[in-house]
Structure 1
Amino acid sequence: MLLYKLDFCNIEEDYKKLIQSLESIKNFTIKENNETFANSTFVVKLYISLIYEYSKFLQEIKKDNFRGSWNCLQDCIDIIDLYSKYESSKSIKELINYFEKIERLYPYKVFSSIEAKFSNITCSICGRDILDTLCNHRAGEIYFGEMCHEVINKIERLDAVALVTSPQDKRCIVELVEDSNEEKFNLLKGIKSLLLIPLNDFIIKKINKPKVVNTKIITKGKLVVTPTYQIKISINNMY
């Protein structure tokens, strides 16, 4: 894993070039009827996509756009979870753990999840109905460099929207429209400089309850207290 040595300045251009090169290699191997090699390009594409999404995460953190960085982080987690199906090395497990620790620094704990009825669900590889006996593909498997998935062509009805703590998609956060309180991102702000060092692992050993600082500010006749967090963090480079 050499992510920490990469220069993220031209990541957008480099990413497009690499994906185009992989597509060319995949198309060549398909012509040669080499499915194993074609499938390997899919795994390599995952790794490159992880670098790309991680760079976007760092850019959002640098701009203090913590809400936007959440979606980038979820993209990283989705990709590394999928990548771990094909490589289960110690470094991959450490990387998963690293992203999950960052995830816990965010204030998002409640999410939305829908309950709906779908119809006309087809296979992304052959286009047949998923119940068609002529379809020999399985969702989640790779066929000549493409992962099979179910395509929902019609939503019959939306039955319910639930509030959950463990959704399938954590991008569906629940947040008040008028919520402009930036203090909820204090943990991220506190270690922003550490997060901007690629793959510098960290450990939050202890988080005390917020305590009132000595300074008291009077605003419009009301007493305003500013909570602070005491965080002990140890740093070690992962790779």
Structure 2
Amino acid sequence: MLKCFFRYSDIPEVAQINDMLFHKKLRLQGKDFSEPNREFQESEPLFKCIKHYAIENNIEELANAQYVVSLYMKLLCQLSSYYKSLMEKEYRESWNILQDCLDLAFWIGQYTIIENRYEIPQIVDLLTGYESLYPYKVFASTEMIITKSECSICGKPFQSLDCQHIKGNLYWGEVALENVTEIKEFQAVAMVSHPLDKRCVMELSDDTRTKEEKFQLLNEFLEQQIPAFQLFSIEIHKTRRQRPDIKIVERNDKCPCGSGKKFKNCCGQDLYYEHHHHIIHLREHILFQKN
């Protein structure tokens, strides 16, 4: 769908968007993350014009392609927002932007064959690396009973024969989505490690750690000043270490902490901890491709 769009470069609005994408990529390559959403906001009226033109001239291919390219433009702008939030140490906010980027990349990939995805596979590789640096490992996932839903295009139930649309497919520049109109019951909130949506993070309400302490791994990684858009992988070495703050005595002696318990039944149980040593392996830079 991406390359298909640029085959219509004789349409002035398509040519304008092509130029805007080119300049956006230049800004990203030059580490200019100011006004991150500027290009997307400026291109929105152009995409609407192209969709209108495609419908009027009965070109569904173009209507669908403009939708995918609008996601592509938004992805590049969200990448700017992500790096801008990292530079400003807005780590909590950056997590949601990161998930937005991954979602956009997923949907672009759904409608674009592998060889035409430009640098998107590398972007996903990069963002997955950053994702591993956050402390979030457990997420909330809702369980509910849905009693009514409808197609976002025709308004009819997906299960009925009256609806001719396939969920997730593109039709004239619109995605056929399932709109939930009635929920009978919220049954539970499950704690999971690999949910569909990772924005519902589980956090302690009484967490008094500073931002740098909470996001220690991400913060230390950024302090290395590794260039933006450089791919990397992290190797973790685990070792068993002795806690330096625990005074060692005989197993059956009273614990030095003053609890009155035997050392083996008190601090002796927490004498060792698992230490993680992270080794960063730098790889190639992402080179943004010309459309």
Please point out which of 34, 37, 41 is paired with 1:16.
Answer: 41
Aligned residue in 2 for 1:187: 217
How far does the alpha carbon of each residue in 1:100-120 deviate from its partner, in whole angstroms, 9 at most, with x for none?
111111111111111111122
Q: CA deviation at 1:229?
A: 6.7
Instruction: Report deviation, 1:87.
Output: 3.8
Give the conservation status (yes or no) of the 8 Å contact 2:37–2:78: no
Q: Figure out how many residues of one structure are paired with residues of the other and give that number.
A: 229
Pair 1:104 & 2:132 matched: yes
Deviation at 1:184, TM superposition (A): 3.3
Matched, 1:38 2:85: no
Distance 1:159 1:93, change over 3 A: same
Helix, strand or coil: the match of 1:11? coil
- Work out which of the residue numbers 109, 114, 119 in structure 2 matches 1:88: 114
Q: 1:200 aligns with which of 230, 233, 236?
A: 230
Mapped contact 1:58–1:196 kept (Cα < 8 A)? no
SS of residue matched to 1:204: strand
Q: TM-score, normalised by structure 2?
A: 0.70
- Aligned equivalents of 1:200, 1:135: Cα separation in 2: 46
1:174 corresponds to: 202
- Structure 2 CA distance for partners of 1:195 and 1:169, relative to 1, 3 Å: farther
Q: Deviations over 1:28-72 (max 9, x none)?
A: 111111100110001101111111221221122112121111110
Are 2:179 and 1:154 aligned? no
Task: Give distance in 2, aligned partners of 1:47 and 1:76.
Answer: 10
| Residue matched to 2:262 | none
**Residue 98 of structure 2: which of 62, 73, 89 is its match?**
73
User: Which residue is 2:17 aligned to?
Assistant: none
Any stretches of 5+ residues in structure 1 without a counterpart? 215-227
Q: Report which stretch shifted further, 68-77 or 123-132.
A: 123-132
**Within 2, Cα distance between the matches of 1:79 and 1:91?**
13
CA contact (8 A) 1:105 1:188 kept: yes
Identity of aligned residues (%): 31
Give the whole-Å Cα distance in 1 for the aligned partners of 2:218 and 2:141: 26
Let me know the Cα RMSD of the aligned residues: 2.8
Q: Distance in 2 between matches of 1:145 and 1:60?
A: 31
Instruction: State which structure, 1 or 2, has the greater radius of gyration over its C-alpha atoms.
Output: 2
Structure 1 window deviating more from structure 2 (130-139 vs 107-116): it is 130-139
Between the aligned partners of 1:210 and 1:48, the Cα distance in structure 2 is 47
Contact 1:60–1:66 under 8 Å retained in 2 = yes
* Compared CA separation, residues 96 and 210, structure 1 to 2 (3 A): farther
Write the distance in 2 (CA, Å) between the matches of 1:210 and 1:61: 32
1:209 Cα shift? 5.3
Q: Tell me: CA distance 1:35–1:234, structure 2 relative to 1, closer, same or farther (3 Å).
A: same
Partners of 2:125 and 2:231 within 8 A in 1: no
In structure 2, relative to structure 1, the CA distance for the partners of 1:198 and 1:109 (3 Å cut) is: same
Q: Decide whether aligned partners of structure 1 residues 118 and 200 sit closer, same or farther in structure 2, where only a CA change above 3 A counts.
A: same
Matched residue, 1:218: none
Structure 1 distance, partners of 2:224, 2:99, is: 19
Whole-Å Cα distance in 1 between the matches of residues 207 and 196 of structure 2?
24
**Shift in Å at residue 233 of structure 1?**
2.3
* CA–CA distance in structure 1, aligned partners of residues 45 and 122 of structure 2: 30
Extract unaligned runs of 5+ from structure 2.
1-21, 245-274
